[in-house]
Amino acid sequence: MKKIVILGGGFGGISAALELSRGLQDEAEVTLVERSPVFMMGLRYLWVVTGRGTRRDGERPITALRAGGVNICAGTVQAIDAKGRTVRTDAGVLPFDYLIVALGAEPRPDLVSGFSEAAYNLYSADDADRLGRRIRDFRSGRIAISILGVPYKCPPAPYEAAMMLDDLFRRVNTRQNIAIQTFTPQAMSLPVVGAANCAQVEGLLAAKGIGFTPNRKVARVDGSTLVFEDGVRVEADLLIGVPPHRPPAVVRESGLAMRGEWLEVEPQTLRTSIDGVFAVGDVNEIPLANKLPLPKAGLFAESQGKVAARAIIAEVQRASASDVFDGHGYCFIETGAGLATMVQGNFFASPAPALTVGPPSPQVLQQKMDFEQSRLSLWFR
Ligand SMILES: Cc1cc2nc3c(=O)[nH]c(=O)nc-3n(C[C@H](O)[C@H](O)[C@H](O)COP(=O)(O)OP(=O)(O)OC[C@H]3O[C@@H](n4cnc5c(N)ncnc54)[C@H](O)[C@@H]3O)c2cc1C
């Protein structure tokens, strides 16, 4: 019996674990280590904030994955010894023949002085609840939505939040009393999709009267004021931020090769610098032909998890692996008023990703809702 250990029970870890337990059945022991008792998708935070859904509706217990043949180690990974082929957790030491690192990217509000005291973290389930309550009482004033570092996961999400808030305030007839501004340190809203597609996204914001200011790097938060690196200060009555992201600390000390802050992988196979060790999803960084990284998105983490799992299945069964991660995918952009669009195409195309952004439609919003439900029902039986 081969021992296969998967670290992290998010999109990447869950899809890999289920693929492995299905593919190897009696040939391997598949163990998934996850510190959180529940799984919930990030896209639901936006529904919680805008009153479109609850956390409870999107949460599933991690232990339910046992029905799919996966051993669950409910614990925190404390150290990864990639060369020594062991992982230490607070629930014991796990030796492995194969390892998949799927520990994600952590939003780190602590990296921005003054943030936690005054701002809501758009990427935290707890803050989503608090922010939802604040929004319901918000009748007038200035809302600033600011991206505080790159890369961050789901690049459209802050703009989705702005458009969904716009829609909410229009429905309760307070929009005329509320200013919504968005700020990014980048030169355009979603640089990876290219200037023409960005113009389309920024046009959607402008049409809704939402401010968009590029090239704004936040140095610190001072009370409810954003202080930018060039000294410009923007006061707001409600600050919503996307904090800088980092991989969990254990990743940096694992002995695996890094690409800047993130794990280095071979883009099509997700193999790391050490044989039999893979890294999938937000924890890795895959450079694209236009020098920007592949966006951190659940859909990519899920496909990468499957590719890594199939490579391991092929090795155990001494077959040849034919699956590769080909960079095709999509990201939803919810635009409010019951509509959504998506960025889709080939992110691995050269000299730049070949992507389109379609017109917003109710059908794409339905696809986004189905995206969540289909995975919840497939993974958590
Ligand atoms: C607001 C928002 C909206 C989004 N919308 C979309 C969308 O529409 N479509 C889309 O594709 N993606 C979306 N995303 C992005 C998506 O959620 C992430 O890209 C995806 O979760 C990445 O999957 P992953 O498996 O790499 O990491 P994660 O899903 O983050 O999983 C990592 C897991 O590792 C666990 N972990 C971390 N450290 C430890 C440790 N030391 N010990 C034990 N366990 C640990 C964590 O608890 C976590 O469960 C959105 C994200 C947000 C925040």
**C-beta atoms surrounding 236 within 10 Å:** 22
The predicted structure's pLDDT at residue 90:
97
Kindly report the average pLDDT of the chain as a whole number: 97
pLDDT digit string, tens, across residues 270-281: 999 999 999 999
The answer to whether position 233 is within a domain reads yes
The predicted structure's pLDDT at residue 229:
97
Tell me: do 150 and 69 sit in the same domain. no
285 ligand 1 Cβ < 6 A: no
Distance of CA 75 to the CA centre of its chain: 21
Tell me: do 241 and 113 sit in the same domain. yes
pLDDT digit string, tens, across residues 161-196: 999 999 999 999 999 999 999 999 999 999 999 999
What is the CA(151)–ligand 1 centre distance, in A? 14
Q: Of all protein residues, whose CA lies closest to atom 15 belonging to ligand 1? A: 297
Confidence of residue 304 (pLDDT cuts 50, 70, 90): very high
Tell me: do 123 and 214 sit in the same domain. yes
The answer to whether position 195 is within a domain reads yes
Q: Of all protein residues, whose CA lies closest to atom 37 belonging to ligand 1? A: 103
Summarize the confidence of residues 246-262 as an average pLDDT: 96
Q: Is the pLDDT of residue 381 over 90?
A: no
Last residue of a domain, one of 223, 245, 267: 245
Tell me: do 153 and 90 sit in the same domain. no
The answer to whether position 362 is within a domain reads no
pLDDT digit string, tens, across residues 208-218: 999 999 999 99
pTM beyond 0.85: the answer is yes
What is the CA(104)–ligand 1 centre distance, in A? 5
Q: Write out the two tokens for 12.
A: 């990447």
Distance of CA 129 to the CA centre of its chain: 19
Tell me: do 22 and 98 sit in the same domain. yes
The predicted structure's pLDDT at residue 213:
98
Residue 142, domain extent? 109-245
Tell me: do 126 and 241 sit in the same domain. yes
Instruction: Determine the residue of 45, 48, 154 to mutate for testing ligand 1's pocket, defined as the one with the most ligand atoms within 8 A of the Cβ atom.
Output: 154
Ligand 1 atom nearest 89 alpha carbon: 42
Contact in structure between 66 and 31 (CB atoms under 8 Å): no
Quote the number of domains for the chain: 2
The answer to whether position 334 is within a domain reads no
CA separation, residue 362 to residues 2, 150, 160, 368 (Å): 47, 30, 15, 10
Tell me: do 93 and 151 sit in the same domain. no
The predicted structure's pLDDT at residue 322:
80
Q: Rounded to the nearest 5 degrees, what angle is found at the Cα of 226, between the Cα atoms of 222 and 228? A: 110
Task: Determine if residue 82 is left, alpha or beta; phi over 0 gives left, psi from -120 to 50 gives alpha, anything else beta.
Answer: alpha
Summarize the confidence of residues 1-14 as an average pLDDT: 98
Tell me: do 263 and 143 sit in the same domain. no
The answer to whether position 356 is within a domain reads no
The predicted structure's pLDDT at residue 364:
98
Helix, coil or strand: residue 373: helix
Tell me: do 116 and 215 sit in the same domain. yes
Summarize the confidence of residues 305-320 as an average pLDDT: 96
Instruction: Determine the residue of 282, 367, 368 to mutate for testing ligand 1's pocket, defined as the one with the most ligand atoms within 8 A of the Cβ atom.
Output: 282
What is the CA(124)–ligand 1 centre distance, in A? 11
Helices (H), 80-221: 115-118, 125-136, 157-171, 195-207
Tell me: do 150 and 196 sit in the same domain. yes
The predicted structure's pLDDT at residue 321:
77
Angle 11-24/298-316 helices, nearest 10 degrees? 30
Helix, coil or strand: residue 260: coil
Distance of CA 349 to the CA centre of its chain: 22
The answer for residues whose C-beta is within 8 angstroms of residue 19's C-beta and 6 or more apart is 305, 306, 309, 310, 313
Summarize the confidence of residues 91-114 as an average pLDDT: 98
Q: Is the dihedral of CA 342, 346, 347, 349 positive or negative?
A: negative
The answer to whether position 329 is within a domain reads no
Helix, coil or strand: residue 88: strand
Q: Is the pLDDT of residue 253 over 90?
A: yes
pLDDT digit string, tens, across residues 25-84: 999 999 999 999 999 999 999 999 999 999 999 999 999 999 999 999 999 999 999 999
Tell me: do 141 and 23 sit in the same domain. no
The answer to whether position 213 is within a domain reads yes
What is the percentage of the chain residues whose pLDDT exceeds 90? 99
Summarize the confidence of residues 326-343 as an average pLDDT: 97
Q: Write out the two tokens for 314.
A: 């092929």
164 ligand 1 Cβ < 6 A: no
Last residue of a domain, one of 316, 335, 360: 316
CA separation, residue 43 to residues 35, 124, 286, 371, 379 (Å): 20, 11, 22, 10, 17
16 ligand 1 Cβ < 6 A: no
CATH number at residue 224: 3.50.50.60
Tell me: do 54 and 133 sit in the same domain. no
Element (H, E) at 270: none
The answer for residues whose C-beta is within 8 angstroms of residue 300's C-beta and 6 or more apart is 281, 294, 325, 329
The answer to whether position 59 is within a domain reads yes
Last residue of a domain, one of 215, 245, 275: 245
